Chains A and B, each alone.
Chain A
Amino acid sequence: MILVGVWYVAALSACALAALAAVLGPARGRPALVGTITVGAGALAAVAGVAAMGGGGWQAWLPEVLPLAGVRLAIDPLSGVFIAVTGAVTSCAALYGVGYAKDGHGPAGRVTQAAVPLFVASMLLVPAAASVSTLLLTWELMAITSLLLVLAEHRRRAAVGEAALWYAVMTHLGLVAILSGLFAFAASAGGESFAQLRAAELSPAMRSAVFVATFVGFASKAGIVPLHVWLPRAHPEAPSHVSALMSAAMVNLGCYGILRVGLDLLGGGPAWWWLLVLAAGAVSALYGILHAVVAADLKRLLAYSTTENMGLVLIGLGAAGFFATAGFDALAGVALTAALLHVVNHAAFKTVLFLAAGSVLRATGTRDLDALGGLRTRMPYTTGLFAVGALCASALPPGNAFISEWLLLQSLIQSGSVSGLAGVVLMPLAVAVIALSAGLAVATFVKAFGVGFLARPRSPAAGAARESPPAMVGGMALAAGCCLALALAPVLIVPALTRPVLAVVAGTGVSARDLILAGGAGAISPTLIAAALVLAVGAVLALTRAVMVRRSRRVARLWDCGAGPMSARMEYTATSFAEPLQRVFDDVLAPENDVDVTPARESAYLVRRVAFHARVPDRIERRLYDPLLAVADDVGIRARRLANGSVHRYLAFGFCVLTGALVVLAVIE
């Protein structure tokens, strides 16, 4: 249908217009102008995406835009899902950004304001790319614009520069992996458009090499362990609406890449590909949520939760690929529906959570949960909206993530007899991983909400917090509304995913009315569960009204076992809340505690000062990346000796390399 194209091109044009307005417009009111246009662009993109999911396709071939390769775009139902998600997240984040940039809190400069719509445009282009060169170009555009945005606050905090460096290096190493994989693919296929790649006949070894290379690259963008190290650094340091865009929209495109290349272009493959995907997902889910549960930095906690959720999506993708290669299309359909639904659900609640975290940061100046608390009276809207996001993120009914995780579990459980020995051993383990990560997610978000927003303020800054301006609350409320819609009306969402699922596997297995799996293997109705909950709570309320003899409530001091009055310093903090879990998973997390005792000068027994530092370092970073960086440093220092400043020596290097290359060529030819 031509309609998809119209909406899509309109969205891209709006992004371009917003960028132009940012560069040319007046400094006064720039955020409002750019933000408003970007909200519109997001809405247009969401419409285009939904239209594409409904079956409308669109293609474009623009040979004159890029020399040599040209730009080739195509939107199918699968790209539609990711375009729609990106568009919806953009609308919420851009609306929020208008308020965020007020009174000098958020970035209002020309470059950062222009980078947001360009970043959005690149994220809209990636799922529409239909040739290798277009994909790589838009992928790199996405990396650079997001890098600019991560760097937006580098003058205020030193940590920003370091985070951006990690991000730049990791994202480009990922690009190298994707580039080498896709170039090898295109070279053996004899053409670079996706249609030619689909038709290509490759040797099994070549196909596996392409898959593994692209998987590594895409997984690094999705924040999959052990390539996740940039994510808990870059997401917290970016301005909060950019964090939301990155965490809710950009990481999804890593999953899109795996799906597009693995299931669509390569058309599935041996089972071990998908078991690899599944294993990477399982490790990420557990590792991510374990770090989230002990994190005391609110935005770092959310970033680790992104790693967890992308891990869950990868479990779904891996299961879908595994079932599809084994020929069980209905099961593959259920697993893929679950994975895509989880992408959508995660985008919705992660947007709310990151935006709310930004409001807290703006109001209190800190992201440290140990210094927050008591925000429910000072910031009632933010608290309520964060509560919605936290409920959804902890995968409990009536939240939206519960539905996608239920579908995911169902697809794994039904696999039983069909998947052979590998399935019999791995599927129960995958179920256990999902269950443990769901349980830990509950603990994580009880901590984030309970410690961050309830109880009493743990610092003067938290006690003096003020509610955010209406635009920010509006952005959050929009995202929370999406969460509720997804949670209460999956009946509308799940059928819409039928076509995207059918685009890559041959069955769906989920029926439209409520959520009933093929063959009566399970059924829930999230709408009715929510209704029953409301009804039951109402009944209990009515009951209490009926039996209550003395109606007035009396306000009294906290009893606290007769102790008190307690000061806010005696409250449980995020660190103490997570301590039991940290102790249980001691061997995995390897926390570091330093006790620094300074004795008085007169006697070693008189203590003057005790300093205690506890932190949970990222073990993979410690064990894997730090040694690598040390080696790179070492090599760099040694290589200095080669460059001693003598021009003669440099000329000699050039001469040697040139002749060496010529000799090698002569030998090969």
Chain B
Amino acid sequence: MAGVVLQVVLVGLGSPLLVGVMRQVRARLEGRAGAGIWQPWRDLRKLMRRQPITPAGTGWMFRAAPLLLPGTALVVASVVPLVTTASPLDGVADLFAVTALLTLGSVALALAGLDTGTAFGGMGASREVTVLALVEPTILLSVFALSVPAGSTNLGDIVTAAAEHPLSLISPVSLLAAVALVIVSIAETGRIPVDNPATHLELTMIHEAMTLEYAGLDLALIEWASAMRLSLLLGLLAGLFAPWGIATAGAGPLALLVAAVVIALKVTVLGGLLAASEVFMAKLRLFRIPELLAGSFLMALLAVAASYFLA
């Protein structure tokens, strides 16, 4: 149980820092000084002090989304094996349930975007669910491919099986699934080339368009939740494809702390890589995104096929 609490706290407090690191990496590579890794936390603090604003004409869905989005992220943070595989909640939600919970958060935000009744809100919601619908097959097929060697879709089992057979991680199954999952994680978290988190050019944005009407505390919650979702997906990737250092059942407090440091390092490295690669890439046109996702789908399908032929 201590591991679960540690995980939730780590994700909750550390994810704005991850965003800060990624922005800093990007700034340095672009030749700027950058605002420092604590800037997201300063932003959150600033937003939290402001008076919350309810735009006229919005309703309960608009008010509920800033609670649901971090809520789903926290539930996912408590079941994903980041620090420990021996979560007492492991039997509660498997990899399918985790992706469905993240989708639930996106749906809440899309509905909030529609609820504002503005053209931008609708535009963002429409684009978000389009990407969401096309991402789903890739995710589930990657889950399929990963669950074949482990014989289970439970996250704890998959991670344990991979840690016990490290050679399986460089098999074509695992590599193809990894590439497919990286692409869909980028799409889900709204990073380049699918969406640009730094954009405020109306016609290109997806995620930002839905949150335009939020201010103050509500905006802080949404920004915080977005950061948590990013670190959760990166943590999940790290756990699935580099499952070392994760505490197993019966680990003492020291082992848990070590595991927490290890996962923080892994996620920071992954985030840094992602930020660095973003510098060299441009955002895709909206209607080229399906092609990218179709490519990732093909890789996931190949991963499943390979998992049978190599088994």
Contacts and interface: CB of A to CB of B under 8 A. Distances in A.
Contacts of B70: 536, 540
Nearest to A451: B114
A442 B107 contact: yes
Interface in A372-407: 373-374, 376-377, 394-397, 402, 406
B89 interface: yes
Nearest to B121: A572
Give the residue among A432, A520, A552 with the most B Cβ atoms within 10 A: A432
Contact of B144 (A428, A520, A580): A428
A554 B114 contact: no
Interface string A401-433: 010001001100100110000001100110110
A540 B92 contact: no
Contacts of B85: none
B55 A556 contact: yes
A532 interface: yes
B64 to A, nearest CB: 8
Nearest to A457: B117
A408 to B, nearest CB: 11
Contacts of A528: 89, 92
A579 B126 contact: yes
B100 A396 contact: yes
A436 interface: yes
A196 interface: no
B115 A455 contact: yes
Contacts of A406: 96-97
Contacts of B92: 523-525, 528-529, 532
A608 interface: no
B114 A446 contact: yes
A376 B212 contact: no
A519 B60 CA distance: 44
B121 to A, nearest CB: 7
A490 to B, nearest CB: 13
A432 B91 contact: no
Contacts of B59: 376-377, 454
Given A376-B60, A436-B137, A428 B117 contact: no
A465 B287 CA distance: 38
A537 B225 CA distance: 12
Interface stretch (A31-39, A563-571, A646-654): A563-571
B55 A557 contact: yes
Contacts of A554: 51-54
A434 B60 CA distance: 31
A630 interface: no
Q: Which DSSP category, helix, strand, loop or mixed, fits chain B's interface?
A: helix
Interface string A506-535: 000000001010011111110011001100
B56 interface: yes
A65 interface: no
Given A397-B104, A583-B287, A537 B68 contact: yes
A394 B54 contact: no
B53 A576 contact: no
B125 interface: yes
B254 interface: no
Contact of A572 (B94, B122, B154): B122
A438 interface: yes
Contacts of B68: 537
Contacts of B202: 561
Given A536-B74, A540-B70, A549 B48 contact: yes
Contacts of B144: 413, 428, 431
B101 interface: yes
A439 B137 contact: yes
Interface in A357-378: 373-374, 376-377
Given A413-B147, A549-B48, A554-B53, A572 B290 contact: no
A611 B119 CA distance: 22
Interface residues of B, number: 86
Contacts of A577: 114, 122, 125-126
A558 B214 CA distance: 10
B265 to A, nearest CB: 27
Contact of A553 (B49, B54, B97, B297): B54
B140 A523 contact: no
A566 B91 contact: no
A520 B91 CA distance: 10
Given A521-B152, A558-B57, A571 B126 contact: no
Interface string B139-159: 111011001100111100100
A578 B152 CA distance: 36
Interface in B24-53: 48-53
A559 B55 contact: yes
A436 B54 contact: no
B231 interface: no
B255 interface: no
Contacts of A549: 48-49
A431 B119 contact: no
A443 interface: yes
Contacts of A439: 132-137
B153 A521 contact: yes
Nearest to B123: A572
Give the contact-size bracket for chain A. 35 or more
Contact of B140 (A431, A455, A514): A431
Interface in B189-247: 202, 212-213, 215, 217, 221
Contact of B100 (A397, A451, A522, A583): A397
B93 to A, nearest CB: 6
B156 to A, nearest CB: 10
Contacts of A555: 53-56
B182 interface: no
Contact of B57 (A435, A456, A580): A456
Interface string B60-75: 1100000110111011
A584 interface: yes
Contact of B91 (A516, A532, A568): A516
Interface string B267-311: 000000000000000000011001000000100010011011101
Nearest to A425: B305
A31 B113 CA distance: 42
Contacts of A434: 140
B133 to A, nearest CB: 4
Contacts of A438: 136
Given A438-B136, A454-B115, A557-B55, A540 B74 contact: yes
A322 interface: no
Contact of A431 (B60, B94, B141, B287): B141
A19 B242 CA distance: 68
Given A439-B135, A450-B115, A558 B75 contact: no
B152 A520 contact: yes
Contacts of A455: 57, 114-117, 122
B101 A521 contact: no
A451 B301 CA distance: 34
Contacts of A570: 118-119
A540 B222 CA distance: 11
A539 interface: yes
B59 to A, nearest CB: 5
A584 B288 CA distance: 9
Interface of A: 293, 373-374, 376-377, 394-397, 402, 406, 409-410, 413, 416-417, 424-425, 428-429, 431-432, 434-436, 438-440, 442-443, 446-447, 449-451, 454-456, 514, 516, 519-525, 528-529, 532-533, 536-537, 539-541, 544, 547-550, 552-561, 564, 566, 568, 570-572, 576-581, 583-584
Sorted nearest first, the 5 A-B pairs with minimum C-beta distance are A572-B122, A439-B136, A450-B114, A439-B133, A455-B117
Given A436-B133, A561-B120, A581-B129, 19 more contacts: A397-B97, A402-B97, A417-B308, A431-B304, A442-B132, A446-B129, A454-B61, A524-B91, A533-B101, A536-B74, A537-B67, A540-B74, A558-B116, A558-B213, A572-B122, A572-B123, A577-B122, A580-B126, A580-B130
9 contacts: A434-B140, A523-B91, A540-B74, A541-B67, A550-B49, A554-B54, A555-B56, A560-B116, A566-B117
